[in-house]
Amino acid sequence: MTEQATARPRPRKSPARRAARAPRRATKAPIKSGLPAPAATSEATPARRAGDRTLLGSETLEQVDRAANAAMAKATMGMSPVAVAMKVFDWAAHLAASPGKQFQLAEKAARKAARFGRYAASAVVNPDTPLCIEPLAQDRRFAHPGWRRFPFNVLHQSFLLNQQWWHAATTGVRGVSKRNEEAVSFMARQVLDMMSPSNVPFLNPEIIEATARDGGANLMRGGLNFLEDLRRNARNDKPAGTDAYKVGENMAVTPGKVVFRNRLMELIQYEPTTPTVQREPILMLSAWMMKYYILDLSQHNSMVKYLVDRGHTVFMISWMNPGSEDRDLGMEDYRTHGIMAALDAISDILPDRKIHAVGYCLGGILLTIAAATMARDGDDRLASVTLFTTLTNFTEVGEMGVLMDTAQIIYLEDMMWQRGYLAPEQASGGFRMLRSRDLIWSKMMREYFLGEREPVFDLMAWNADGTRMPYRQHSELLRHFYRDNELFNGRYRVGGKRIAISDIHVPIFAVAASRDHVAPWHSVFKLHLQSDADELVFVLSKGGHNVGVIAEPGNPRRAYQMSTYHEGDPIPDPDTWEVETPVTEGSWWPAWQAWLSRLSSGEVPAPPMGAPAKGYKPLCDAPGTYVHQQ
């Protein structure tokens, strides 16, 4: 199906708005970025001098370096050995120069050894001996009753004491940079998690009991699970159990039409289910490294369906899945041919209406950039901005910071160079490392030695349906945001001029998740420090990066905290806010939907699909074609 041309521009409200919008119209022309390529920076490519002479040429030798790094990255799971060595040396050198810290660690080791000795001597004869150290609340590796029996109790207590000592050894060393300290502590934890006695089948009482009870059938089931996973990985198939979920059949089934398409995205308009709707439509955009239908999963937890059923006109951006030919697409391409092209189309389909814009994760970063640029250029089409688990301040990104120094960024760029994109398995591998205890080792023990497959639900099936990220865009994201924090510091440029979050004055609704390891909620909260919005609502939802957002009403495990601040109000620190803000049981969705309705200007008859007379005829049914790209 051919791409749809943009309709004839409608009259603008001001010269500033006309100037801001004119270059953003989507066309059939191939998307080409106008930004300098990341590889041209001084950190990635040394400056060429006229007097340089090499046998093969500097460009050729640079390709050799890139190829070597790319090959090594396959064995190191994307971690740069040089970056790791530099961090470890920083820690080790400062520890070697800190006799006080060494004495403290020796004293801790002696005390822990004495405590463990007393416990072990008592536990041999008394299985009810109180534990000398309790696992953390989120650590479920030793929850099985068998770990309370000898000798398994002694094994796991020894491991936990050793783990606690290593935490003390890798933190609080004077002179070590904060980022290096976090990296070394993270790496030590990764090694310890791998060496846990729970990962050794003949030391794990749960596996021993299951093997005795089932006569080894659990090991046979686990072996079959392992072989099936090998086969699926070799064929690049999705994980076992996800076959029961199919896009357009039992996921992403809210009725709608694709009303606009360019090379970068499809714009879906959902069919109304009420005779009247709120006048202001909603535009939703997810991260381009995820399929959009996380916001339209199953019938019971579809955010799109929830909004449509309550009288909102909803549009959705569905990103294309880039390939090698799209390696040079950057953030500016996604802004102009993505969100701005969608806003232009909606403004033509439903003229003279402001728009509620919603961004999820990286989509929220893109929305923040677009909103700040629109504010700078006098474009007043936004009625509000909603951000789901979105970082705007990258000073503290938690364990993600392990991957964000210059050496590691260049290593990741070289890993992407040959193919021209970050593959979904590379991205998911990095996220699994952040939670290796649960997502790698415990999962391996459960599926391959207990022979128990984890039940697959819709969110897991969506998570396995990953997309790629263009080389250039990923490099820009790491350099400009995670490393240099340009957006929060007011140094990020669009069209050659700086933008500022403080220029956004429309109401903002920001949602963070309490157990988010991708966008830590303390960092998300720092939006308060930069925002001059007329109204800023902040919600802390119970759950992780995705579960905290897909928090549908009726789920008994949902809860949230919410506050509202206006321009000029004093802002507490995050920990004080958490203590003082009451917890509300249930989903935050109704509060958000009521907020959107309050900001709307009344109800109007439900609109038709698209606007054929203006060139926006429906192209196909939702979920469209781009969502099926593999």
- Per-residue model confidence as pLDDT tens digits over 578-588: 999 999 999 99
- pLDDT greater than 50 at residue 478: yes
**The pLDDT of residue 196 is above 70:** yes
Q: What is the pLDDT of residue 50?
A: 43
Who has greater pLDDT, 39 or 307?
Answer: 307
State the average pLDDT for the chain. Answer: 86
Q: What is the pTM of this model?
A: 0.85
Q: Is the pLDDT of residue 133 over 50?
A: yes
Rounded CA separation 477/196 (Å): 35
Distance CA 364, CA 158 (A): 44
The values of phi and psi at residue 160, to 5°, are -65, -40
Distance CA 487, CA 480 (A): 8
Cβ–Cβ under 8 Å, residues 242 and 461: yes
- For residue 41, pLDDT over 70 is answered with no
Residue 22 has a pLDDT of 38
Q: Please say if the pLDDT value at position 8 is more than 60.
A: no
Q: Which of 132, 285, 361, 562 does the annotation list as catalytic?
A: 361
**pLDDT band (50, 70, 90) for residue 57:** low
Predicted local confidence at residue 37, as pLDDT: 40
pLDDT given at position 397:
79
Give the confidence band of 538 by pLDDT, cuts at 50, 70, 90. very high
- Domains contained in the chain, CATH given: 81-214 (no CATH), 256-628 (3.40.50.1820)
pLDDT of residue 21: 38
| Confidence at residue 77, expressed as pLDDT on a 0 to 100 scale | 64
pLDDT at residue 429 in the model: 63
The full DSSP string for 2-42 is PPPPPPPPPPPS-HHHHHHHGGG---SSPP---SPPGGGST
361 is catalytic: yes
pLDDT at residue 74, rounded to an integer: 67
Whether residue 415 is predicted with pLDDT greater than 90 in this model: the reply is no
Which of these ranges, 48-62, 255-269, 277-291, 391-405, has the smallest mean pLDDT?
48-62
User: In this model, does residue 221 exceed pLDDT 80?
Assistant: yes
Beta-carbon neighbour count of residue 121 at 10 Å? 12
Tell me, what's the pLDDT at 249? 93
* Region of poorest pLDDT, from 34-43, 119-128, 440-449, 501-510: 34-43
- For residue 298, what pLDDT band results from cuts at 50, 70 and 90? very high
How far is Cα 470 from Cα 289, in angstroms, rounded to an integer? 9
Average pLDDT on 244-263 reads 95
Neighbouring C-beta atoms of residue 345, cutoff 10 Å: 28
In the chain, what percentage of residues exceed pLDDT 90? 64
User: Is pLDDT above 80 for 589?
Assistant: yes
Greater confidence (292 vs 83) lies with 292
477-482-486 Cα angle (round to 5): 85
CA distance linking residue 514 with residue 574, whole number of Å:
12
**Mean of pLDDT values over 227-247:** 88
Pairing of strands 620-621, 421-422: unpaired
Q: Which pLDDT score, from 0 to 100, does residue 89 have?
A: 93
Edge-to-edge strand order for the sheet containing 583-585? 583-585, 559-566, 535-541, 508-513, 382-388, 355-360, 282-285, 314-319, 265-270, 256-261, 620-621
pLDDT tier at 49, thresholds 50, 70, 90? very low
